[in-house]
Amino acid sequence: MASPATRAIRRRNTWRPWPGWGRRRCTVAASRPCGRRPAPAMSEGAGGKGDRGRFGRWAEDLAASYLRAHGYRVLARNLRTAEGELDIVACKGEVLAFVEVRARRGRAGGSAAESIGPRKRARLLRAAAAYLQEAGSSLQPRIDVLLIELSPGGRLLRLEHIEGAIEA
């Protein structure tokens, strides 16, 4: 039998919302600018199914380095809005580019370009609109896609930047 003192202790609520439940506020103000670091070399064994996170980060690092080399200023990476995530937000001149990075290793699952369906397009448009509503910008918005394709051995086969790939 529990003592009266034990029964009087109130239990602490340990419930926490599961990640992804509900809407999130845009993290524009909280996002830190990404540093100027070179894109890492992709190791031979990286990028397998058990290593998607590391492969995705490598692809985004490569994409950010590519954009910087072509005159873009990277403003944010992996930016979460209430409507979804934007891989890279960058500007060049009068253009504010929301860049979706798509990377594939081998051709078994289709090409990187084929991986953007209508639902992904709609989600990107909503996320970009949420960013613009929260941050406000006088720049001309544009949604670009940066495709990265590797051979099964990890050699870069294709890196293509498609400007204005997704239209409203």
pLDDT value of residue 21: 52
pLDDT band of 70, cuts 50, 70, 90: very high
Flag whether pLDDT at 62 surpasses 50: yes
154 near 105, Cβ under 8 Å? yes
| Cβ-defined contacts of 148-152 (< 8 Å, 24+) | 148/59, 148/62, 148/63, 148/101, 148/102, 148/103, 148/104, 148/112, 149/103, 149/104, 149/105, 149/111, 149/112, 150/42, 150/47, 150/103, 150/104, 150/105, 150/106, 151/105, 151/106, 152/105, 152/106
pLDDT for 47 equals 43
Position 67 scores a pLDDT of 94
pLDDT in tens, 145-156: 999 988 888 888
Q: Is the pTM of this model over 0.85?
A: no
Q: Does the pLDDT at position 101 exceed 90?
A: yes
Give residues with Cβ within 8 angstroms of 68, minimum separation 6. 36, 74
End-to-end, the C-alpha distance of the chain in Å comes to: 67
**What's the pLDDT tens digit per position in 15-51?**
555 555 554 445 554 444 444 444 445 544 444 445 7
Q: What is the pLDDT of residues 5-18, one digit of tens each?
A: 555 566 565 555 55
User: In this predicted model, which residue has the larger pLDDT, 2 or 99?
Assistant: 99
User: Which of 36 and 116 is assigned the larger pLDDT?
Assistant: 116
Task: Using DSSP, state whether 6 is helix, strand or coil.
Answer: helix
Token pair of 80 as six digits: 């979460």
- For each of the domains in the chain, give its residue range(s) and CATH number, in order of start: 45-166 (3.40.1350.10)
Q: How confident is the model at residue 88 (pLDDT cuts 50, 70, 90)?
A: very high
pLDDT at 107 exceeding the cut of 70: no
